[in-house]
Every structure is written in C-alpha cells, then in structure tokens.
Amino acid sequence: MIQFDKLQTPAKGDKIKISEEKLVVTDTPIIPFIEGDGIGPDIMRASKRVWDAAVEKAYGGKRRIIWFELFAGDKAAEKYGEVLPEDTVRAIEHFIVAIKGPLTTPVGGGYRSLNVTMRQRLNLYACVRPVKYFEGVPSPVVHPERMNVVIFRENTEDVYAGIEWKEGTDEARKLIALLGDQFGVSIREDSGIGIKPISITGTKRLVRKAIQYALDRKLPSVTLVHKGNIMKFTEGAFRDWGYELAREEFGDVTVAEQELWERHDGQMPAGKILIKDRIADSMFQQVLTRTDEYSVVALPNLNGDYLSDACAAQIGGLGLAPGANIGDYVALFEATHGTAPKYAGMDKVNPGSLILSGVMMLEYLGWQEAADLINEAMGLAIKQKKVTYDLARLMGDVPPIKTSEFGSAIIENMKT
C-alpha cells in the first residue's frame, strides 16, 4: 500500500490497474482531484455534482467514483509549505487517472508553471483537445457545426523544451561562437538562442496515440500538421516519422494520402484510416474553409498550441474547451482556461471546460454511457439558454445563471 506524507488514501474504492496494456477499472475507482486556485473550487464543486449524477444515472447506482483530494497551488502552499508537493505527483502516478482545476502561474518568476512541471514529471507527452460545437453557442463563423476535431499536440519537445539562452549571456555567446567556428553558421552577436529538438521517440509515441484514438473510435483520418517545407529536419521529420509509424504499426488499417491515388483511385477503402499531412499555414486556412475534412490532428508542440486555440475560437471560444495531458497510461484531465482570479468564489463562471474534461475522463475509463449523458444534457441546457454570464452576454438578451445553477440545469436534463 502506498504511503503519503500528509494524505490519507480513501478507505473504500480501488486503484486503477493496468493489465495487457489496458486500464482495469472496477465499479468504484479512486480518482484523485485537485481543486485548483481562483475559480477552481467553484467549477470543481459544480462539475463533481454533474459527473456523480451522470455515473449514478447511467449505471443505476452500481458504479461510483471515489474522490481523493490532492493539493497543488495555494491550498498546497498552506498545507505543505510548497506549491507542488511530492505527495501530489506520486498520487497521480499511482492512481493513474486524475483531474484538476486551473492553477496560478506567477508572471516573471517565482516558480515554473505547475502545469508544465506536472506534465514533465509525469511524462504526459500528449496534450489532447477535442473541439466540437454545441448548438446555440454564438460563434464567429457561419458553420461552426462543421468543426469536430481532436487535436493531439506533442507536449515535451520543440521550442517548448525550455532550452534557451538570453542575449548577451556567456552561454549565448559561446553557442554563437561554436556555431560560427565549427559549422560556419553566422548568427548576429546580439541574439538570444533557442533550441528546437524533435525526436523520433517523441514523434512516434504521439502519432501512435493519435492513430490508436482514431482506430478505437472509428474516425476517418489522422492529419500530420508541420512546417516541414522550411524546417526540414524537425518539422519535416515529424511528418516523415509519422507516416513511417503509420506504415510500420498500423499498415493494415491505414492508407497514406499518396497511396489513395496511386493504389485506390482516390476511393478510400472501407474501414481504413486516411493518413494525410498539411503544412501548418495551409492548415489554418483549411480548418476555416474545409473544416469537415479533418478529424484527428497530430502536431508538434508550437503548431499544436496555436491550432488548438484557433479551432476553439471557431466553436465559440475557450470557455467550453476541455483538455487532457496523457502519457503511456497516466492521464491528467484539466480545464483549459486559467484561474480567472477576479471571479473567485463568486459562483459565476462557466464550469463547462472542466465538466467536458471530466467527460473525456469518463471515456478514458470506458464509462461511455455516463459521458454521453453529460454531453447530451449540456447541449440541451445550452439550447434552453440556461448559461453562465460569458455565454449569456454573447447570446444577447439572456439572463445569466450561476456556476452551480448551470450544473443543476445539466443534471435536470439528463435522460436515462
């Protein structure tokens, strides 16, 4: 039995296990949660009620989540004297599936983003963001309903690896000199330097996850997005290794776009997944102009960051966008917005992003029925214009309801 410094493992419930490369989830799994800072407690309270109600309704009381509170951010600082205690990281690793609210990151120092630290410590290499439209949400585009993608963004490499040196430092100067002396590369002396590593390992494990996701859900395509025409050995290699992985490990269930014309006369064979690639700048046009041609999308870190928010904007903004950071098995689900401190404790903000992250979590557990109940009920609540201030102000003449009331409206709309 795992021992913690200041945590008491719940007396009931079971740890999720892994057997034959699959999660084994009993009817009463222990799921750790981190409330989060700022609006975190407001949205977590409302979300837990929704998740619990859906599980109760979907399985007639047979299944139940045993919640286990972990600490990070402000609450951890009070309890442990540090913002990310070892207990928290160990508990997530041990119990495998966890969910969190937003955490404060002070600008310009203090400490590194807790979110980034957790992703690195737990090796959560895939950032997964489904982007799907809910009818009735105001959107800046004519056909927001055509957007239905799941974005797999690489989480550990690229210019986000944090390997950079400030202009004028010894390190920057040494690197500039080394590149000049040994590689004949001329870089202005007053430059800052950043390094962009993209590896076979990092690419293949991400693309493997994206293709497996498409396969499990019978989705039609996986698109590799890159800027390989310019950055050939990083972004271009991402594309090449992605196709290679598809051929090596999923050759019997995938068709590369080029083969589609060479071998299949442009007709997609039934039941197979199309693997295609797009250059990043073109992809930003395509998600607007040929939106419904894309399903699962896999990208390196920086492109993934940009494209996730651009896609979310098309369906009405980040307020309803869920997310997860996933490794080989360990998965940490989270709201994609921040702590919105000015609204903390006001029972005012939209809990939609966290609730939908919980839907992803239920799907990850294999509890699809409970996930479907929430998706449908949230869609109905929005159609009925029972929404929090952020959506109400976009809808025009709609009186906003509270965070907790939005939770209740979803629960009332659950049909079994």
Task: Render 319-339 in DSSP notation, one character per residue.
Answer: GG-EEEEE-SS-EEEEESS--
Residue 349 touching ligand NAP (CB under 6 A)? yes
29, 50, 97, 115: which one binds ligand NAP (CB under 6 A): 115
> Which helix (H) or strand (E) segment is 370 a member of?
helix 368-383
Residue 340 touching ligand NAP (CB under 6 A)? yes
The residue at minimum Cβ distance from ligand NAP is: 338
Q: Which two tokens stand for residue 242?
A: 């992605």
Residue 42 touching ligand NAP (CB under 6 A)? no
Q: Rounded to an integer, what distance in angstroms lies between the CA atom of residue 415 and that of residue 366?
A: 20
Count of residues near ligand NAP by CB under 6 A: 15
CB-wise, 117 or 199, nearer to ligand NAP? 117
Nearest approach, Cβ of residue 219 and ligand NAP (Å): 26
CB-wise, 277 or 390, nearer to ligand NAP? 390
Q: Taking the chain, what is the end-to-end CA distance rounded to the nearest angstrom?
A: 38
- Cβ partners under 8 Å of residue 239, min gap 6: 224, 226, 228, 277
Residue 74 touching ligand NAP (CB under 6 A)? no
301, 308, 325, 339: which one binds ligand NAP (CB under 6 A): 339
Stretch of residues binding ligand NAP (CB under 6 A), selected from 99-107, 118-126, 287-295, 372-380: 99-107
32, 390, 406, 411: which one binds ligand NAP (CB under 6 A): 390
Nearest approach, Cβ of residue 379 and ligand NAP (Å): 18
Of residues 263 through 322, those in contact with ligand NAP by CB under 6 A are: 319
Residue 132 touching ligand NAP (CB under 6 A)? no
Q: Rounded to an integer, what distance in angstroms lies between the CA atom of residue 178 and that of residue 185?
A: 9
44, 52 in Cβ contact below 8 A?
A: no
Angle at 157 between CA 155 and CA 160, to 5 degrees: 80
Catalytic residues: 160, 227, 281, 305
Cα dihedral sign for 356, 357, 360, 362?
A: negative
Residue 88 touching ligand NAP (CB under 6 A)? no
Q: Rounded to an integer, what distance in angstroms lies between the CA atom of residue 238 and that of residue 225?
A: 9
List residues binding ligand NAP (CB under 6 A).
Answer: 39, 102-105, 115, 319, 334, 337-340, 349-350, 390
